Amino acid sequence: MDDLADELRDLKREIIESRGLVIKTNNLTNALSADLRSLAKRQQQQERRLGLNSAAMYVAFLFVALVIIKFAWDARVDAVEAKTEETRRALERSLRDTKEGQKRDEDRARAEAHAAAFYELVRGAKRAEVVEQFETIKNEPLTKTELAVFADAAERARGELSVSAYHQGLDQARNGRWHEAQQAFEESLKYKDDAAHAPLARYNLADALRRLSRQRDAIPLLIPLSEASADKEIMDDATLLLAQCEIDIQAYNDAKNTLRGFLRRFPDSALANDARSLLADVSLHH
């Protein structure tokens, strides 16, 4: 009985110990399971963070790569555009130079044609046409030598035309055709107003205007001739004619002053007696 009781006690103790061991094992298993779950959760979180970090790094790398590619592409595009623009400008310069060259050639060809035609006018002694055409041809792209030769020819033609018109005016004046004389003297001065005969042309023009009862137009021509003419021999004639014009328009005081100035400046003139008589007459009646 005692042995059975001991065995039962031992068995009971073993059962209790086994039960405690099972409980302890279960607790350890639960704890281990909790730890494993915690580890698994941390692992998942870590993997999630790693995934997010990897995705962020990938996105950042992709962004950086895209930025680098964009800058590289923009740089290449800029380089291509700059080269294209340079090529375009070079082409435009080339086209412009070509057009300018063509225009210069055309202008030169036209100038040569005009120069040849002008030279024919010079050879043909067509003085009026030479003077008229020179005003056009002088603006052509001629050489300095050509322009100098043509300018001399035009100046010579002006001088000849001026002399010819002056003599025509003298002929018309001798025949009493004062209107034609006036036109001829004006034409002479138009062609060359600084010629040696220009003072005489002005004097005769003033005389023709007086004959046409245009004394007021004659006086502005006579005043410079009477004061300081390039031809000293006509200063007394111009002064006396000026006085006569002033008398004609009833500017008697001006006429008296002009006649007194005449006698003071030209006491030895062949016209001095005429001036004295005219001054006496004006002073007597006015």
Q: Residues 192-221: pLDDT tens digits?
A: 888 888 899 999 999 999 999 999 999 999
Q: Residues 2-46: pLDDT tens digits?
A: 666 677 777 777 777 777 777 777 777 777 777 777 777 877 777
Average pLDDT, the chain: 82
Closest CA to 153 of 130, 128, 133: 130
Percent pLDDT > 90 in the chain is 23
Rounded to whole angstroms, how far apart are CA atoms 125 and 90? Answer: 51
User: Could you give the angle at the alpha carbon of 178 between the alpha carbons of 173 and 183, nearest 5°?
Assistant: 95
Residues in contact with 256: Cβ distance below 8 Å, sequence separation at least 6, in sequence order: 279, 282, 283
Rounded to whole angstroms, how far apart are CA atoms 259 and 269? Answer: 13
Which part of the chain is CATH 1.25.40.10? 213-285
The pLDDT, as a whole number, for residue 116 is 67
Rounded to whole angstroms, how far apart are CA atoms 254 and 275? Answer: 14
Residues in contact with 266: Cβ distance below 8 Å, sequence separation at least 6, in sequence order: 235, 236, 239, 272, 275
Question: Per the structure block, which two tokens stand in for 228?
Answer: 């300081």
CATH of domain 213-285: 1.25.40.10
Closest CA to 197 of 224, 169, 241, 163: 163
Question: Per the structure block, which two tokens stand in for 12?
Answer: 């009971």
Q: Residues 231-254: pLDDT tens digits?
A: 567 889 999 999 999 999 999 999
